[in-house]
């Protein structure tokens, strides 16, 4: 399992890194929210251990931004002892679990084991439609042998369409599943991103996969 620690208390972060590395986890450390976003979206972390009290962008904002950007790994939040509001806000902003400081290292290990069980349960294998394959855990999309590079938003859009393969999805249904609550524009943004996506997954000569259902919405399916 690959873990990103986001903690500005360097001594604590280093202690965690040492302990987790001994337990055979792959560990990176960042000390602020901006770096956390950059790292988390560049590498496939299974778990992010995220402190709430950070300089600049706080952990709650980082958590929300990560989910908005399509981060699908687990987020374990570190909160101050007894701060119920932080825990509630943490879970509301997309965290999977929390640990109150100070904590025993063996409790952290137990939480990570629990999360890794959930990771395995989620791994039902890559999504497939025809020769198009989306591997969520590796954050990778391929069509046949061709690797397709997608932006985080395009990735989430494709994942949504693939999870509902062979079903027609309305623009509003897509909008509510792919865009964040903060998004205030109209549903024509869906058409724009469908165009981007179609351009990437259907190169000239490849069978059509992304179909427009006139007056209704979109459908991802093999051509019959
Ligand atoms: Ca801190």
Distance 103 CA to ligand 1 centre (A): 14
φ/ψ (deg, to 5) at 109:
-60, -40
Nearest Cα residue to 216 out of 173, 174, 168, 178? 168
Residue 182 has what pLDDT?
Answer: 56
In tens digits, what is the pLDDT along the chain, a chain of 224 residues? Answer: 789 999 999 999 999 999 998 888 888 999 999 999 998 888 778 899 999 999 989 999 999 999 888 788 899 999 886 778 887 888 888 899 999 999 999 999 999 988 877 765 555 678 899 999 999 878 899 999 999 999 988 998 999 899 888 889 999 888 877 775 456 677 789 999 999 999 999 999 999 999 999 989 999 999 76
Q: What is the enclosing helix (H) or strand (E) of 65?
A: helix 59-68
Alpha-carbon gap, residue 81 to 99, rounded angstroms? 9
What value does the CA radius of gyration of the chain take, rounded to a whole number of Å?
A: 19
pLDDT tens for residues 128-165? Answer: 999 999 998 788 999 999 999 999 889 989 998 998 88
Distance 180 CA to ligand 1 centre (A): 27
Distance 171 CA to ligand 1 centre (A): 41
Distance 55 CA to ligand 1 centre (A): 8
Distance 51 CA to ligand 1 centre (A): 6
Residue 200 has what pLDDT?
Answer: 97
Alpha-carbon gap, residue 69 to 71, rounded angstroms? 6
Distance 78 CA to ligand 1 centre (A): 9
Distance 26 CA to ligand 1 centre (A): 21
Distance 123 CA to ligand 1 centre (A): 32
Distance 8 CA to ligand 1 centre (A): 5
Distance 31 CA to ligand 1 centre (A): 8
Distance 53 CA to ligand 1 centre (A): 4
CA-CA distances (angstroms) from residue 201 to 142, 147, 171? 9, 10, 19
């Amino acid at each position: 399992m690959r873990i990103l620690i986001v903690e500005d208390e360097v001594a604590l972060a280093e202690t965690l890194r040492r302990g987790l590395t001994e337990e055979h986890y792959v560990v990176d450390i960042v000390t602020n929210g901006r770096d956390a976003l950059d790292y988390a979206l560049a590498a496939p972390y299974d778990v992010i251990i995220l402190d709430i009290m950070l300089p600049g962008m706080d952990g709650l904002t980082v958590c929300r931004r990560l989910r908005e950007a399509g981060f699908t790994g687990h987020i374990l939040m570190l909160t101050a002892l007894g701060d119920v509001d932080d825990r509630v806000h943490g879970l509301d902003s997309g965290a999977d679990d929390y640990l109150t400081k100070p904590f025993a290292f063996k409790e952290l290990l137990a939480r990570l084991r629990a999360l890794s069980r959930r990771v395995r349960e989620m791994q039902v294998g890559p999504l497939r439609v025809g020769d198009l394959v989306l591997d969520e855990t590796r954050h990778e999309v391929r069509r046949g042998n061709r690797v397709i590079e997608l932006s985080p938003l395009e990735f989430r859009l494709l994942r949504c369409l693939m999870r509902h393969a062979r079903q027609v999805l309305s623009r509003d249904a897509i909008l509510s599943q792919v865009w964040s609550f903060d998004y205030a524009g109209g549903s024509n943004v869906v058409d724009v991103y469908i165009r981007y996506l179609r351009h990437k997954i259907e190169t000239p000569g490849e069978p059509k996969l992304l179909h427009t259902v006139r007056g209704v919405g979109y459908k991802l399916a093999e051509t019959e």
